[in-house]
Amino acid sequence: MNRVLYMLENRVPEPLRRLVVRYLETSGLDYTQCFYSDDSKLIRERLSWAEAVLFAPGRYLQPDLMEAANHVRLMQLWSSGYDKFNLADARKHGIPVANNGGANAISVAEHTILLMLAAARRLPEFHTRATRGMWSGNSHGMDMVQLHRKTLAIVGLGNIGKQVALRARAFGMCVLYNDIKRLDPAEESQLGVEYRTLEELLTRADFLTLHLHLNATTSGLIGADKLQTLKDQCVIINVSRSQLIDVKALTPLLRSGKVLAAGFDVFETEPTSGYEEYLSFPNVVATPHTAGSTLDTYHMAMSNCMSNIARVFAGEAPLWIVN
């Protein structure tokens, strides 16, 4: 019988663990589990036993533990992001690493639109005003904007970026994009998007959203110099990785109002401490890295992960390789 190790973090809630286990139990595979926090001897034993590993989520695995995975034919991440996983060490041992095949794309795209609306309409502040009876002194919308007829700049037009573009177009937005690979004209026309350089995007954007994987070339992509070139009153959304934007340089721009508002689902340190200055601003809305976290997403991700593991056990090449 083919053997699968389910490796998880302690913070994964029990209902989500049960969902994963149901997929493992109905797969017909022999499985066991361990936590990243377990004793290294136990992790080493289970890695040496396994023929595939399901990481939920993917986190750094000590290189000496990676050496124990001498029977592993696939390391399967249930997330789309992989910057916290040591891909190079897996590649060194000839182990392919796959992500979830874009299972969370729609959920993240919907969340992006949610943050755009919530930030542009100052939802946290106005929710508090309504629930506490603090109606007096509100701005009456003078510091709010709508999405209709605004320019949305998307940096990174992959699976998620394309889903954001489709939904933004439904709001009547003009959608510009930048990506390392430009789409062919037919696909640009189908999506209703126009290509621009990154520099031009920043000067044109009423809304700016990032949909990039974090790596050496994208870290700090939107630094202090680029933030200064932003169109005044831009709304910034980041649901990808915090390190894509220089948050320290962004903070005074949010405080002064040069940047109208921002929405974040990712942070330099996770979990957040509760003392991050910019998160207390009334023009900032934040969620705890849950953009891709919906019941529908989990079912799709697990379906993709289990089918990919089955492919490998059937002697076929795995899909969605990231290393």
pLDDT in tens, 174-233: 999 999 999 999 999 999 999 999 999 999 999 999 999 999 999 999 999 999 999 999
Average pLDDT over residues 112-127: 97
Is 67 catalytic? The answer is: no
**Closest by Cα among 4, 55, 54 to 29:** 4
What pLDDT, on a 0 to 100 scale, did the predictor assign at position 127? 95
Catalytic residue, chosen from 59, 129, 213, 289, is 289
Catalytic residue, chosen from 268, 270, 277, 316, is 270
Cα-based angle 10, 88, 183 (whole degrees, multiple of 5): 100
In whole angstroms, give the CA distance from residue 31 to residue 119.
44
What pLDDT, on a 0 to 100 scale, did the predictor assign at position 291? 97
Band of the pLDDT at 1, cuts 50, 70, 90?
confident
Band of the pLDDT at 170, cuts 50, 70, 90?
very high
What pLDDT, on a 0 to 100 scale, did the predictor assign at position 264? 98
pTM, to two decimals: 0.93
Residue-wise pLDDT for 247-297, tens only, equals 999 999 999 999 999 999 999 999 999 999 999 999 999 999 999 999 999
| Residue 263: φ, ψ to 5° | -130, 130
Is 270 catalytic? The answer is: yes
What pLDDT, on a 0 to 100 scale, did the predictor assign at position 57? 86
In whole angstroms, give the CA distance from residue 147 to residue 130.
23
Beta-carbon contacts of residue 212 (< 8 Å; ≥ 6 apart): 155, 156, 218, 221, 240, 241, 244
Is 194 catalytic? The answer is: no
- To the nearest whole number, what is the mean pLDDT of the chain? 96
- CB neighbour class for 238 (10 Å; exposed up to 12, middle 13-18, buried from 19): buried
Catalytic residue, chosen from 44, 46, 204, 241, is 241
What pLDDT, on a 0 to 100 scale, did the predictor assign at position 96? 97
Asked if 109 and 160 touch (Cβ cutoff 8 Å), the reply is yes
Domains and CATH numbers, the chain: 3-103+294-313 (3.40.50.720), 105-286 (3.40.50.720)
Average pLDDT over residues 91-108: 96
